[in-house]
Amino acid sequence: MKNIAVRIGEHIDAIAETTWDAYGHSIMCNIRYIDVNPPRVPTLSEKLDRQFNIIEQSYILTGGFFSMALDPQKRIVDWSIYTNPNRWIRGERGFEEAVPATAHIDAEFDENGRAYTGEPTEFYEPIRGTFYLSWGEISTWYAIAPTLAIGVANDNTLAQIRLDGLHVQTGNQQVEGLWSRLRHRFGF
């Protein structure tokens, strides 16, 4: 894995909205930062940028079936992974509280704003509904949003992403649920 550095900044409130697409075997997480400052009058330079459609650079980080989009400040704005829940490593994991913060991701981005990392290992703790993407051991958890945290290693590199409240049924559970609904519908 190429080292993905994490700079921790002052916490900005954010909301993480997660979608599990059972048919597409994908988890998608969109993060929206809540601006606490009222809108201000745009500067002349901002007006010109808008008029000539000049936009700031955005960044993409990929690794295997994992993809993460960053805004111009290199904050995470969304991530997704194509995954199969039947292949997740399942079991209980110790849950550590996270310090509220805003994370800025630094990597070796090319001229198009793209960087690459290794494919993460996927863990799932079914009781709490916590999904983990792991590239290594963590030393500190930082809460980006109430249900989303990143784990940072001792050398300030990205080690894990943790998503809480993701309750996913495996293939066998989905089939059992379908039969249960059909039996109930037909009065059996």
Q: Quick check: helix, strand or coil at residue 53?
A: coil
Helices vs. strands in the chain: H and E counts, helices first: 2, 15
Which residue, 64, 81, 69, is CA-closest to 27?
A: 81
Cβ atoms within 10 Å, residue 94:
5
Residue 174 has pLDDT above 50, yes or no: no
Residue 61 and residue 67 in contact, taking contact as beta carbons nearer than 8 Å: yes
Residue bearing tokens 């490593």: 89
Q: Judge if pTM exceeds 0.85.
A: no
Rounded to 10 degrees, what is the CA torsion of 95, 99, 104, 106?
-60
Task: Write out pLDDT tens, residues 11-68.
Answer: 999 999 999 998 889 999 999 999 766 667 777 877 777 777 777 778 999 999 999 9
Contacts of 164 (CB under 8 A, 6+ apart): 128, 129, 130, 146, 147, 148, 149
Amino acid (1-letter code) at residue 65: F
**Domains of the chain, residue spans:** 5-185
Task: Write out pLDDT tens, residues 8-18.
Answer: 999 999 999 99
Q: Alpha carbon 185 to chain centroid distance?
A: 37
Q: How confident is the model at residue 175 (pLDDT cuts 50, 70, 90)?
A: very low
